[in-house]
Structure 1
Amino acid sequence: PRAGPHSAPSGYKGPQLAVKPDLVGKLVKCGHVFHLHCLVAMYNNGNKDGSLQCPTCKTIYGVKTGTQPPGKMEYHIIPHALPGHSDCKTIRIIYNIPPGVQGPEHPNPGKSFTARGFPRHCYLPDSEKGRKVLKLLLVAWDRRLIFAIGTSSTTGESDTVIWNEIHHKTEFGSNLTG
């Protein structure tokens, strides 16, 4: 719960902390204020990677990492222009993740997972902006954020590799499938 100007004690019920329930803390980057008990609960219920995300504005504290299974990310330039980018060539990214066995960080440790539709090809314009996005995608790949193991919203299949909320252009021409 967010601490207001006439704040009541935290309603958080969990392991007792050596902190009074009415003490609040301010997040340094965004300035949002929360009970210290609530901040501890948010951290403990987070994804255990050492990061904390402000629930109000989504500012990330620390380095966020994910649970993407092992695989390969490659990229190269192809001599064709994407629609709307006739002035430049195209960066093609190829992601390849093989099927495998889920680790302790995955939904069902020890159970196998499938990896449908790999290798997956994605496209960026070979422009200043496109190269900047590529650099950010390389960081996201290293931090295991691009894919996850879960249930496919397309097929309903569980224990499979799925996109993890970073949108990619996966068709070279007009995006007909949305």
Structure 2
Amino acid sequence: MTIKDPLADEGDSTEENCPICLSPFRDKKSLNCKHEFCKRCLQKAEENYGPICPVCRKVFGIIQGDQPDGRMTWTRSSGQVPGFSNCGIITIIYSIPDGRQTEKHPKPGHCYTGTTKTAYIPGNKEGNEVLKLLKKAFDQKLIFTIMASNITGFKTRVTWNDIHHKTSLYGGPDSYGYPDPTYLSRVKEELKAKGIE
């Protein structure tokens, strides 16, 4: 009597099924990460979650956020970011004016309250790399979003999205400040998760 190994053809049984609908592929599409999906399943996933592989979360296109129009400027100055010596300070100023929500926002046609935010990064090589990545993320409208704020009482306002910034030079991570030796590598990972590299 031959006993069949239940794991022997486990890969064969699923390799012709879409990992989203679990049915045989229809108009199969392959991503750069090598994961495959039905064309329609992939389109629906992209509509709901953006151009991100549903299996490995690798970005396969350009993610566009819903950040309202605004400006990002920066200056360089002498001084020192705690934990980073002799490299100066890059001060970023984000300015998003008040405006009216579009179809991308929670309440199209309603007004929102803008914001002005200041952030700091060290002026070293890695800090300059992060500055370029943050500018790319800002241009793709990923730094801010519009949402209700329970803290301020405003119904809808511009607020940070999920890319962390240092809004203080001091106080450490608990105060959104420095020193924080892993901040630059962490923010690069957050940006990479949105396809910014």
**Structure-2-length-normalised TM-score:** 0.72
Cα gap change, 1:154 to 1:6, in 2 (>3 Å): farther
Cα gap change, 1:10 to 1:143, in 2 (>3 Å): closer
Distance in 2 (alpha carbons) for counterparts of 1:132 and 1:56: 29
Cα gap change, 1:128 to 1:153, in 2 (>3 Å): farther
Q: Quick check: 1:152 aligned with 2:149?
A: yes
Indicate which of 39, 44, 65 corresponds to 2:42: 39
Match of 2:80 in 1: 81
- Give the residue type in structure 2 aligned to 1:177: S
Question: Unpaired runs of 5+ in structure 2?
Answer: 1-10, 177-197
Q: Number of residue pairs matched?
A: 161
Match of 1:22 in 2: 24
- Is the 2:18–2:36 contact (alpha carbons within 8 Å) kept by the matching residues of 1? no
SS in 1 for 2:175: coil
Indicate which of 128, 134, 146 corresponds to 2:125: 128
Match of 1:141 in 2: 138
Q: Which runs of 4+ in 1 moved over 6 A?
A: none
Shift of 1:162: 1.4
Report the structure number with the largest CA radius of gyration.
2
Match of 1:170 in 2: 167
Deviations 1:2-58 (A, max 9, x none): xx642367885xxxxxxxx511645332122334442132133345xxxx2112222
Q: For 1:40-59, list aligned pairs within 5 A.
A: 40-47=43-50, 52-59=51-58
Match of 1:17 in 2: none
Cα gap change, 1:153 to 1:145, in 2 (>3 Å): farther
Pick the structure with more helix per residue: 2
Sequence identity, in percent? Answer: 37
RMSD of the alignment, in Å? 2.4
- Is the 1:77–1:126 contact (alpha carbons within 8 Å) kept by the matching residues of 2? yes
**Structure-1-length-normalised TM-score:** 0.79
Deviations 1:71-119 (A, max 9, x none): 111100122101101221000000011111101211111000112xx32
